Structure 1
Amino acid sequence: MEPSLVQQRQSLRQHIRRLRCSLSEPQQFAAGQQLAEHAILFSPIQQAQHIALFMSMDGEINTRPLIARLWHLGKSVYLPRINPHQPTTLLFQRFTPQTTLVKHRFGMMEPEENCDECRPFTDLDVVIVPLVAFDSDGQRLGMGGGFYDRLLVNWQEAGVLPIGVAHNCQHQDTLPIQPWDIPLPAVITPNKLWQWGNKEA
């Protein structure tokens, strides 16, 4: 009997998370540096002023080198926060070297609440999106909470470009997808820029 789609997705999540968590500290460091080098040369990021990222956890590719590069280039950087009034949605709050970070209920670091520093999703230029796995068609498998899938439903109409970032090992030929999965127009890994022109990157 074939495993269900839900089981396939959960098994794949566990497998990819083990792979990325097995990377050594030097490998993680090198991957984060290479990612930053490639990302700042990507024209949508070069042209953007307001860029949302995320703080890495659970073996995710290290975004701190990219954040530091963006600060150096004078870009405004934002991090996601779970909306305290709508716990299934995200807010994006300005992140500077002076920002205090706190741990939210899922273990990710987010800025200490300051509504004056928040910016609507539709006022961002680029959102750097976390993922567990991606495939050769730009499909994305997330952690299962649906935060980014809900956020990105109308990204083209909003004029915000989502870009995935991942380790090389997170690429799969195909993914077991669900109707609510939102494909990405671009993914950056340490070794490659993946783009899918039909998604208007």
Structure 2
Amino acid sequence: MLISRQTLRAQVRAARKALSIEQQNQFANQACQRAIQLITERGVKRLALYLANDGELDTQPLIDALWQRGIEVYLPRLHPFSPGNLIFLAYRVDSPLIKNRLGILEPKLAITQMRLPHQLDMVITPLVAFDANGNRMGMGGGYYDRTLAYWPLMGKPLPVGYAHDCQQVSHLPCEHWDVPLPMIITPTRIVNGA
């Protein structure tokens, strides 16, 4: 029996929210170590990622590690003029953050701090669920699919998923607009996908 995307999304979100604070902290630190190794091997200088929300794998240890290494960190922001799209703004310790209409913290708009996706080396994406083929299910808004649609043609930015191990499912139903990920970092491994 096939289960709907909505049901699958609810099940996986519940699984990650059920993790204890201790598990969340441990998993975030383990994933950070794997991510830093990959980022170092790839020579990444500019990287976008997200601030964890809704039980997502916490990115703060990774953000701190990136800052310590002098790697430029960017956060997504809902595009002010192009609904359904993202822009990326520099994120530093003193960057002002505001809640967007979805209740997610994002940088205050400052055009001088903006980077287009192809100006980044890597984008670490949030996700709700993934499978062994690198298929990714987000929250359903399509923001990252639209943002990363041209990465294979441009060669940048490399999209990398970041998730708890409990977010892996055997198979994800996919649509033609879904952008598969070449790799997904979890606390225990790097899953090579598309």
From 161, 165, 190, the equivalent of 1:164 is 161
Distance 1:45 1:99 in 2: 28
Is 1:134 paired with 2:130? yes
SS of residue paired to 2:37: coil
From 54, 57, 67, the equivalent of 1:58 is 54
Percent of matched pairs sharing the same residue = 42
Q: Provide the residue aligned with 1:186 in structure 2.
A: 183
Q: Is the 8 A contact 1:139 1:183 kept in 2?
A: yes
From 40, 57, 65, the equivalent of 2:36 is 40
Q: Provide the residue aligned with 1:151 in structure 2.
A: 147
Q: Is the 8 A contact 1:56 1:108 kept in 2?
A: no
**What TM-score, normalized to structure 1?**
0.92
Summarize the alignment of residues 1-201 of structure 1 with structure 2, pairs less than 5 Å apart: 8-43=4-39, 46-159=42-155, 160-196=157-193, 199=194
Q: CA deviation at 1:81?
A: 0.3
Following TM superposition, where does structure 1 have runs of at least 4 consecutive aligned residues deviating by more than 3 angstroms?
43-46
Amino acid at match of 1:74: G
Distance 2:174 2:148 in 1: 16
Gaps of 5+ in 2: none
Number of aligned residue pairs: give it. 193
Q: CA deviation at 1:175?
A: 0.9
Gaps of 5+ in 1: none
Q: CA deviation at 1:44?
A: 6.4
Distance 2:42 2:67 in 1: 12
Deviates more, 1:131-140 or 1:40-49: 40-49
- In structure 2, do the counterparts of structure 1 residues 45 and 142 end up closer, same or farther at CA, with 3 Å as the change threshold? farther
- In structure 2, do the counterparts of structure 1 residues 88 and 43 end up closer, same or farther at CA, with 3 Å as the change threshold? closer
Q: Is the 8 A contact 2:90 2:113 kept in 1?
A: yes
- In structure 2, do the counterparts of structure 1 residues 45 and 84 end up closer, same or farther at CA, with 3 Å as the change threshold? farther
Superimposed CA distance per residue, residues 131-150 of structure 1 (whole angstroms, 9 cap, x where no aligned partner):
00000111111110000111
